[in-house]
């Protein structure tokens, strides 16, 4: 069975591992290029993308990560992880680097000050139709996507209606929100199905 790595530089690593454990998937904490070589797929957790980017460079992981993603390794990023998988970012720090892979522009901290954190029902393509209770924490949104990217979900809150918060490009997936925090395993299950070649 496949091993899914969780990039363990920073962020909510344990929460992602817990959900994947619950789905019966073997997980590995990835903190080095050697470890990265042992995994079939990767989750990039939520946290702080500027810190994650710096640490990835410091641990010599940035180039190996880019190489694996280019070579077709499935990856799923939540929140800061979404930022890390974006080809282009807005509102980043001057030297902020990403792994990239998804042809999209992501705006950091996009939801305004009063709404830094909120929950909202999001309807996601590829799930069973029941809305997903999505938790947003200083979340980004996707400003634009290239032709190869499928929009899986948008928010419907007044003022922000239609903002893209979930995408897929081939075996790469990203959400602005944190399914690892709410006990609903459906988004992770979708990723596991992608990893197994079933979705």
Relative to beta strand 26-30, strand 164-169 is: unpaired
Q: For ligand GLN, which residue of 7, 19, 80, 164 counts as binding (CB under 6 A)?
A: 80
For residues 144 and 168, is the Cβ–Cβ distance under 8 A?
no
> Within 10 A of 93 (CB to CB), how many other CB atoms are there?
12
Q: How many CA atoms lie within 13 A of 168 on its CB side?
A: 15
For residues 75 and 41, is the Cβ–Cβ distance under 8 A?
yes
Q: Decide if 180 is catalytic.
A: yes
Binding of ligand GLN by 175 (CB under 6 A): no
Q: How far is the CB of 79 from ligand GLN (least distance, A)?
A: 3
Per annotation, catalytic residue among 16, 79, 97, 188: 79
Helix or strand run (H / E) with residue 30? strand 26-30
Q: Decide if 16 is catalytic.
A: no
| 32 assigned ligand-binding residue | no
- Rounded CA-CA distance 83/118 in Å is 19
Binding of ligand GLN by 83 (CB under 6 A): yes
Interaction pattern, residues 93-132, with ligand GLN; x per rule: CB under 6 A: ---------------xx-----------------------
List residues with catalytic annotation.
79, 178, 180
Q: Contact positions toward ligand GLN, by CB under 6 A?
A: 46-49, 79-80, 83, 108-109, 137-138
């Amino acid at each position: 069975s496949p091993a899914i790595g969780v990039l363990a530089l920073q962020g909510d690593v344990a929460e992602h591992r817990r959900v994947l454990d619950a789905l019966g998937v073997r997980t590995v904490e990835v903190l080095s290029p050697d470890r990265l070589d042992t995994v079939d797929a990767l989750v990039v957790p939520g946290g702080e993308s500027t810190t994650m980017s710096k640490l990835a460079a410091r641990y010599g992981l940035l180039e190996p990560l880019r190489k694996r993603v280019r070579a077709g390794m499935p990856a799923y990023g939540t929140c800061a992880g979404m930022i890390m998988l974006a080809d282009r970012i807005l509102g980043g720090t001057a030297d902020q680097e990403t792994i990239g892979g998804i042809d999209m522009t992501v705006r950091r901290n996009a939801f305004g000050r009063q709404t830094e954190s909120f929950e909202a029902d999001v309807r996601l393509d590829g799930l069973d139709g029941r809305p997903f209770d999505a938790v947003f924490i200083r979340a980004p949104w996707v400003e634009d996507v290239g032709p190869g990217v499928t929009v899986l979900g948008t928010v419907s809150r007044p003022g922000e209606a239609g903002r893209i918060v979930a995408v897929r490009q081939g075996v790469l997936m990203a959400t602005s929100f944190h399914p690892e925090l709410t006990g609903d395993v459906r988004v992770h299950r979708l990723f596991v199905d992608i990893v197994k070649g079933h979705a």
